[in-house]
């Protein structure tokens, strides 16, 4: 596999990582499917989401695959009154990434990115390498540093 922009950014910061490849199911891009394919717990596989604040514009959030984004918490953390998810059709234009391949690194424009504090509970976590079918396995503190991210509590358990 050739290196993705996200992997090159980690290289630039001299951060150690692994790339885990898996077979993509285009009909199931859910985090639980990715977690089972790479053999990691769902809480340890983080998904990157794109939202828009009413004051600051686009913001990104990186939360555990087992959680859902707390929009109120993200709004508060990002200096917005309210935040809503961007429409799926906007994601690629804003980030340069397609759904199922959005990485917190190497985004087209440097949007503010917020990582859920649960990321610090792990020695390593998985995030998209910037393409479907590849996850970066990396130390969370190194990822947050490379992404110039902010740690904040923005995830809650998924509604049943």
pLDDT of residue 160: 62
Q: 6 and 101 in contact (C-beta within 8 Å)?
A: no
pLDDT in tens, 67-118: 999 999 999 999 999 999 999 999 999 999 998 999 999 999 999 999 999 9
* Residue 13 φ then ψ, to 5°: -85, 5
Q: Under 8 Å CB-to-CB from 56, ≥6 apart: which residues?
A: 78, 79, 80, 112
Domains parsed from the chain with CATH numbers: 5-157 (3.90.960.10)
Q: Is the pLDDT of residue 52 over 90?
A: yes
Cα distance from N-terminal residue to C-terminal residue, the chain: 37
Beta strands in 56-110 (DSSP E): 57-64, 67-69, 83-85
- Say what the pTM is: 0.94
pLDDT in tens, 10-41: 999 999 999 999 999 888 888 999 999 999 99
């Amino acid at each position: 596999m050739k290196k993705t922009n996200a992997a090159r950014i980690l290289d630039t910061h001299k951060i150690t990582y692994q790339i885990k490849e898996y077979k993509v199911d285009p009909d199931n891009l859910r985090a639980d499917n990715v977690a089972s394919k790479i053999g990691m717990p769902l809480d340890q596989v983080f998904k990157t989401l794109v939202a828009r604040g009413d004051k600051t514009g686009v913001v990104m959030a990186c939360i555990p695959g087992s959680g859902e984004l707390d929009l109120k918490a993200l709004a508060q953390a990002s200096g917005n009154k309210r935040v809503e998810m961007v429409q799926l059709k906007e994601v690629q234009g804003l980030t340069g990434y397609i759904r199922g391949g959005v990485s917190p690194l190497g985004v087209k424009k440097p949007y503010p990115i917020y990582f859920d504090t649960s990321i610090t509970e792990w020695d390593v976590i998985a995030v998209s390498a910037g393409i479907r079918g590849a996850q970066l396995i990396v130390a969370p503190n190194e990822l947050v540093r490379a992404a110039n991210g902010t740690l904040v509590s923005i995830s809650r358990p998924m509604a049943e």
